[in-house]
Amino acid sequence: MKLVTMMAQACMYAQNHIDDLQAWSVKAADREHLLQCVSYQMACFIAQNTGKGGQGVEWAVILEELIEHPAKTEAEWEKILNEIALEYGGWKGGMPEKFKVSVVKRLYCTGAVEVEASDEDTAIDLVQSQIERAELQTTDVDWGDPVYEDFSFEATGDVD
């Protein structure tokens, strides 16, 4: 979840909670008192996550928006918060997104194939030729125990 989405949901929830308390019927000063902590929290998020926010963000940065009626939607809050962030140099990147990066660790086995040849080099060439022509199958090999290849742990470059 992006930071701005989380912030928008908090603002929307605060306004909806005021609705639940039927506080819209009370005067604006009382609603302001009830919503000050939310505005302060948003000011802290903006200060920590915008380019120029570290220079200071007024604690009541969204208080007027919070006490307005009717309550805003999540999309409306995202728009408001993004506009405020631009005033403070834009978002630093918000909350990091999660990615699944594929990795690989190669496992290899050595095996033996018995062939008839005049010398070692010819035997190697014969086996390689049979592999390339798909005449020699993996099921034809007498395999030893599998071993992980040293230093083979790496990212594949595929991301979901």
pLDDT(19) > 80: no
Share of the chain above pLDDT 70, in %: 90
157 pLDDT band, cuts 50/70/90, is: confident
pLDDT of residue 30: 77
For residue 87, pLDDT over 80 is answered with yes
* Average pLDDT over every residue of 45-61: 89
Residue bearing the bigger pLDDT, 6 or 156: 6
Measured N-to-C along each axis, helices 3-20 and 74-87 cross at an angle, to the nearest 10 degrees, of 130
Instruction: Write down the pLDDT at residue 126.
Output: 94
Residues 138-143, mean pLDDT to the nearest whole number: 88
Q: pLDDT of 20-50, one tens digit each? A: 666 556 666 777 888 899 999 999 999 999 9
Stated pTM of the model: 0.55
Name the average pLDDT for the chain.
Answer: 86
Question: Residue 119, class by beta-carbon neighbours within 10 Å (0-12 exposed, 13-18 middle, 19+ buried)?
Answer: exposed
Strand ranges (E), 5-130? 101-104, 107-108, 111-112
User: Which are the contacts of 34, defined by CB distance < 8 A and separation ≥ 6?
Assistant: 18, 21, 23
29 near 61, Cβ under 8 Å? no
- What value does the mean pLDDT take over residues 100-107? 87
**Are 77 and 8 spatial neighbours (Cβ–Cβ below 8 Å)?**
yes
Three-state SS for 1?
coil
Q: What is the mean pLDDT of residues 82-90?
A: 91
Enumerate the domain spans of the chain: 3-87, 101-159
